[in-house]
Structure 1
Amino acid sequence: MTLLDVNARYLPHEQFRQLVANIHRDGCLTSTPLVWNDVESGRRIVLSGNHRTMAAIEAGLERIGWLEITEPLPRQRQIALQLSHNAIAGQDDPAILKELYDELESVEWRQYTGLDDKTLELLEQVDVASLGEANLDFASVQLMFLPDELERAEAAFDAARTTATADQRWVAGLEQYEPVLDALETSRAAYKIGNSATALGVILAVFERHLSELAEGWFDPTSGEATRSGAAPLETVFGVREIPVETAAAMRGVLDRMVRDGTVPTDEPWRGLEVMIEHVLASGAS
């Protein structure tokens, strides 16, 4: 068997020694290497399981079993197989891992697992009671955007997020999954669109037209007062993301003049808006 000359996967010395000890104890490999039978060169190349093969040799095994590919494999396919076997692996539920590990009464069997000190330290921090709902039913939704749509989507999500109250939810509830699909379907039906990305673009366009409604996240129109502390996006005040450059230039000139004459702090020119508001309110009162 021919081991790889270039292998991205490495095994720390302690873990390799534990692997050798486990194989010596078992008398065989309990997980199977993947080998390509290169008929042209007459070599059997180990694509996955190089460390297991080396550990088997060091453990003194005379023969092992493996899964063999006999069809021709281009170099690109060989690399893809090697990297995928190294990279695609499951993750342990820490609560279940702790529960199973605690069942091992023998120190010898605990050592056999090969769990390192870092993992064991994390297990000590696991509160099983708090992770009782770890295995929830869920549905994954993957959204992919082209550059133009990505910019619009990021701007929309940022605007929605910045108007949220302190009770932020970073994981959407499963009950929101169906409404999202319904919104996409309604958009497709309204514009006779077959592509979900285009339908999402329609949803974003509708969202853009209703930016001012996001003010509900921080403003009470009845009292005219803010309902929370913090900052609010200007889009939710003006209802648009951009204003004409002439208007922006005039506003910037006024704010710069206020900064120069000391009316507002240099690092907070936006306070010039407060001055303008107070002036308008005073004029109305008089």
Structure 2
Amino acid sequence: MEESARLAPPQMVQGDPRALTLLDLNARFLPHEQFRQLVANIERDGCLTSTPLVWNDTDTGRLVVLSGNHRTLAAIEAGLTTIWWMQIDQPLPRQRQIALQLSHNAIAGQDDPAILKELYDELESVEWRQYTGLDDKALDLLEKVDVSALGEANLDFASVQLMFLPDELERAEAAFDAARAMASADQRWAAGLAQYEPVLDALETSRAAYKVGNSATALGVILAVFERHLGELAEGWFDDGSEAPRRGGTAPLETVFGVRGIPVDTAAAVRAAIDRLVKDGSVPEDEPWRALDILAAPRSQDQDV
């Protein structure tokens, strides 16, 4: 490397992050959940606690963020009107800009797992643990578990691939074919691209409500809430006003009773009653659910008295 390639020490500058120009092509990406955590941390601190690197392009008058694009964007979303950044004022060729950008992303230290876990364990508050942005994988909290004997054949698991596709048929089919070629899965589920953000928002809300950092745990919260509202799915086939079905076909029993199971004693009593109705010919043997028709039939005036 030539001597002329040395940089003059950057100066510390304070200004509005909205005046900075973010990179059009940034190799470093930040998952949605981590970005939301970054925004939350900045809102809590009221400032950036790590400094972006900015290049002053005097030819265009732009202040280009070479490193710290996500921090800058998060600061804007957090409502900060001023931040500090390191600014390089000397001319930089395109090659040097790219080299700086990639080096800041690629050259990073590694954590000692034992020390990392020891420090993390000192954090008693769930909020501060969430603040770190660390998850179970990073902390290696299961390092003492011997999984050497667990092979793929011994594990009961299923792989699901969820794809959010655009509305246009041709683009959707192309995206689906590409995803199918890249990864194998037991099942593939397709959803509208417009549903992508609501899904992430639902996960984020669940994480925030229960103070959890793990996406799988947040998904479990969403499923638990769903289970408590099974009865509301009856709107898909039942009209409350007319008390008549909205459509033909069948309806899940969960949406009738609002639960997936009933106590065994109750189930036994119902089963015995259905068997009696089948034996006396009141209910067809191949349609035992017809017993519910008898239960739901309007009573006569004599029975009401």
Verify same fold: TM over 0.5: no
If the length of structure 1 is used for normalisation, what is the TM-score?
0.43
Larger radius of gyration: 1
Greater fraction of residues in helix: 1
Greater fraction of residues in strand: 2
- Higher RCO, 1 or 2 (CA under 8 Å, sep at least 6)? 2
If the length of structure 2 is used for normalisation, what is the TM-score?
0.40
